[in-house]
Amino acid sequence: MVLMVLSLSSAVAAEAGGAQLDPEAILSSHGDLAAQAVLAQGEPSFETTVALLPELVGYVPVSSASAARKLVVGEQGEIGYLGTDYSRPRIKEPLFDPHEHMADLPVAAVQRELIDGRLPGVQYTFLNVDGKNALQEVVFSLPGEPESTYVSLGSYDRQECFLLTTDAQEVDPSTFDEALAAFRGHWQREMAPAIRVDLPEPRLVDASLAALARTFTTFVGDRPKYGLGSYAQDVHDGFPPTILWMTNACLEWGLFAKAQAYLTYYFERFVRDDGSFNYYGPAVSEYGQMLDLVARYVRYTEDGKWLTDHRAKVEAMAGRLIGLRTESLRQPTDAITRGLLYGSPEADTREETEFHFSGTAWASRGLLELARLYREQGLEGAGQYEREAAALRADLNRAARASLIPGDPPFLPPYPGLKTPFPSMTADTLASYTNYRYWLELLSAGVLDPDLADAVFEYRRRMGGELSATTRFAGQLDDWPLAHYGRALIADDRIDSFLLALYGHLALQQMPGTFCAYEQVAIRGSGTRTYAADYCVPAQLTMPLLVRWMLVYEEPDTETLWLCKAAPKRWFAPGQTIRVRNAPTRWGPVSFEVKSGAERVAAQVIPPPRLEGRLLLRVRRPDGQQPAQVAGGDFDPEVEAVVVEPGASATVGVVYG
C-alpha cells in the first residue's frame, strides 16, 4: 500500500481565505449576509462560500449496507457506534482509537477526506507536534455477515493494519491492501451504471457520487434508514422523504436497479393496501410526491410491469387524496378553504393539522403526473386524475390569493386564516417549519401562480429565512428539504440563487472533504462548527439532485428539456469542458459535450429519442459576450440559450467576437 501524505495545512483552510461572517450578526439579521458577501465577489462559488463560517466537523459513516448497526469514524479518528442521544462524546466506548496505537498521534486531525475522493471510506491525516511528519488513518468496510472493517495507521516508515469485527485484530499490510482493492472493486461495480459526468469542478461530481454511495450504505439492505444515531431507530424507517429522495436520486443518476429495489421494498412493506403509509406521521404532501415518483420511475425505466404489480396501491393512494378533496367540498361554497386538503404537514408537527397549501399543491402535481402516466400507458382513470389535479390547482391559487397579506414584501401564510405576517422566518416554531419545509414544498410542486410564488421567494429571502439561500431554522441551518427549493429556483430561472443554495449546502451544511451531511448544523462555532442533529439521507442526497438538475432539467408542464440551465458562467470560459453521458429523462437518455475556446463554444448533443418539443442548451460566457454567429440552432437572447435543431444528433457552434 502507498500512503498519500498530504500537505501540512488543511486544504479547506487554504480555500477559506476570506473573512468569516459574525454569527451573531447573521442570527440578528433579516438579510442574507452570506449571499451578499458571496455575490459581492462575483458569481457564487465553493471557495467564496466556505470562507464564511468555521469549518464543519463531525463523525463520518463507514459501514456497509449489510450491517444492521453502523460504524462511524469520530472527529479525532476514533471508530465506534453512536448513541441515540446527543450527549458527548457520541462514541462512548470506541472499538478502535488510533491514539492508543500511536502515542505520538496528536489530538486534532488536520484533514478529513474520502478514499479516492468519493468512496465511502475515510482517510484522516494528522500531524506530529513538530509539524513535520504526517500520519494517516484509513478506514473502510467490506460487506458481509458480519461486515469487515479495516484500519491502517501509517506514514512513510511505519504501518500498522487492523481488522475490526467484534474486536481489533492486527493484520499484515498485504491483507489490508487486498481488502482495499476489493473495496474499490465493489464500489466500481456498484456505481458502474451511473451516468458519466465530467465538470470543470470535479468536487461537484465527487460530492454527488459520494452521497449516493453513502446513502446506499446507510440503508440495511433495501430497508430504508432515515439516518444514523437518533435517526437509526426503526420508528423512523417509514419516513416517506427517505425513499422519495433516495429513489429520485437513483433515477436521476441512472441507477435504475437501485431505484427499483428501494421503491419496491417500500411499497411492499410501508404502503398499506388502502394507500396509506405505515408511518406515525405522514404528511399530505408526501402522498402527492409519491405519485409523482411512481410516474417518474415508470417513465424513466419503461418498467410497466412494476406499475401493473403495484397498481392497486397506487390507485388507493390517489383515492386517498381524492377522498380528502371530496370531504373538503362539503364546506360551504364561500369557505376560503373549500377544496383544499386537510391534514398533517410534517411528522414533527403531525398534530397541527390544517389546510396547508403545500399538501394541496403536491396532491395536484401528483395526480397530474399520474394522469399523464396513465394516458401514456393506455390505462383508465387518466381523465379523472387530470380533472381532480386541475380543480385542486384552481382552488389552491384562489385560496392563496385570498390569503395573501399585502406588504413589502407581501406575505403568503402556510395555510388560510393567519392574519399577521411572521416578523421573521425564525420567529417561532410555525415560522421556522414554514421556512424549512412548508414553503419549499409549496414552491417545488410548480402549481402556484407566478406572482404568488414570487411573494414566497422574496419573503423568505428578505425576512431572515436564508443563509447563502440555504435554510435557517431557529438558530441553526436545517437543509434536508433544500432540494425542493433548488427545484423551485431552477424552474423559476433564479440561477444566482440556485448556485448560492448549491454551494451554500456543499460548503456550509456538509463537511468539506468527506461531504457528510447532517440534518441540522450550527451557525456558531469557535474554531470549528458541529452538527445539531444527526446525519440523514435526504440532506445527503441534496447534492446529486441539484447537480443533476443544473445540468439536465425537464420542465414538468411543457415538452422542454434544458441542458446546462444552471451551469456557472465560468464553466464556459476558454479551455473548459462539460460532459454528460446517458442522463435519463422521460423522453429517453440524453448525452452532450460542451467545449469552450477563446472565440467559440462547440457542443455535440445526442437528444432523447422521444423528445418532440424544445431542447435548449444554455451558454453564458463569464465576460457577458453575446454570440456573433450560431450554427446548429437559434440563439434566444432572452434565455441565453441555443434552441437546438431537432434530429438524431446535433452539432452546435457559438462564435463570439
pLDDT, residue 158, reads 82
Residue 85 placed within a domain: no
Beta strands across the sheet bearing 614-618: 552-554, 560-563, 614-618, 641-644, 633-636
Q: Is the pLDDT of residue 501 over 60?
A: yes
E strand or H helix at 205: helix 202-218
Average pLDDT over residues 460-478: 97
What total of structural domains would you count in the chain? 2
Average pLDDT over residues 150-162: 89
d(C-alpha 656, C-alpha 631), whole Å: 12
Same domain, 276 and 410: yes
pLDDT band at residue 106 using 50, 70 and 90 as cut-offs: low
β-pairing verdict for 560-563 and 614-618: parallel
DSSP 7: P
Same domain, 425 and 566: no
Residue 57 placed within a domain: no
Same domain, 442 and 566: no
Same domain, 425 and 571: no
d(C-alpha 408, C-alpha 310), whole Å: 48
For residue 4, the tally of other CB atoms under 10 A from its CB is: 10
pLDDT band at residue 4 using 50, 70 and 90 as cut-offs: very low
d(C-alpha 640, C-alpha 245), whole Å: 31
Average pLDDT over residues 622-638: 95
Dihedral of the CA atoms 512, 514, 520, 525 (nearest 10)? -50
Per the CB < 8 A criterion, the answer to whether 471 and 532 are in contact is no
Residue 328 placed within a domain: yes
Residue 439: name the closest of 473, 407, 398 by CA.
473
Give the type of residue at 649: S
Same domain, 440 and 571: no
Give the type of residue at 182: A
pLDDT, residue 304, reads 97
Per the CB < 8 A criterion, the answer to whether 364 and 285 are in contact is no
Residue 582 placed within a domain: yes
pLDDT, residue 212, reads 98
Same domain, 440 and 574: no
Average pLDDT over residues 91-108: 80
Show which of 433, 449, 465 is a domain's final residue: 449
d(C-alpha 56, C-alpha 50), whole Å: 10
Look at 3-12, 66-75, 130-139 and tell me which has the smallest mean pLDDT: 3-12
pLDDT, residue 6, reads 35
Average pLDDT over residues 238-257: 98
Residue 374 placed within a domain: yes
Q: Is the pLDDT of residue 99 over 90?
A: no
- Residue % of the chain over a pLDDT of 90: 90
pLDDT band at residue 2 using 50, 70 and 90 as cut-offs: very low
Grid cell at residue 53: 463560517
Q: Residue 203: CB partners within 8 Å, gap ≥ 6? A: 46, 506
Show which of 400, 423, 449 is a domain's final residue: 449
Give the type of residue at 447: V
Q: Residue 172: CB partners within 8 Å, gap ≥ 6? A: 161
Per the CB < 8 A criterion, the answer to whether 482 and 440 are in contact is yes
Same domain, 281 and 403: yes
pTM of the model: 0.96
Grid cell at residue 387: 380533472
pLDDT, residue 646, reads 84
Per the CB < 8 A criterion, the answer to whether 589 and 608 are in contact is yes
Show which of 421, 449, 477 is a domain's final residue: 449
pLDDT, residue 128, reads 65
- Residue % of the chain over a pLDDT of 70: 95
Q: Residue 103: CB partners within 8 Å, gap ≥ 6? A: none
Residue 497 placed within a domain: no
pLDDT, residue 157, reads 76
d(C-alpha 472, C-alpha 432), whole Å: 8
pLDDT band at residue 8 using 50, 70 and 90 as cut-offs: very low
528 φ, ψ (degrees, to nearest 5): -135, 165
d(C-alpha 52, C-alpha 70), whole Å: 32
Q: Is the pLDDT of residue 104 over 80?
A: no
Residue 507 placed within a domain: no
d(C-alpha 571, C-alpha 594), whole Å: 10
Per-residue pLDDT tens digits for 328-343 = 999 999 999 999 999 9
Q: Cα–Cα distances in Å, from 512 out to 172, 192, 207, 228?
A: 32, 25, 9, 19
Residue 82 placed within a domain: no
Domain carrying residue 600:
560-655
Helix axes 304-328, 284-301, angle to 10 degrees: 150
pLDDT band at residue 271 using 50, 70 and 90 as cut-offs: very high
Here the CATH number for the domain that contains residue 617 is: 2.60.420
Q: What is the mean pLDDT of the chain?
A: 94
DSSP 505: I
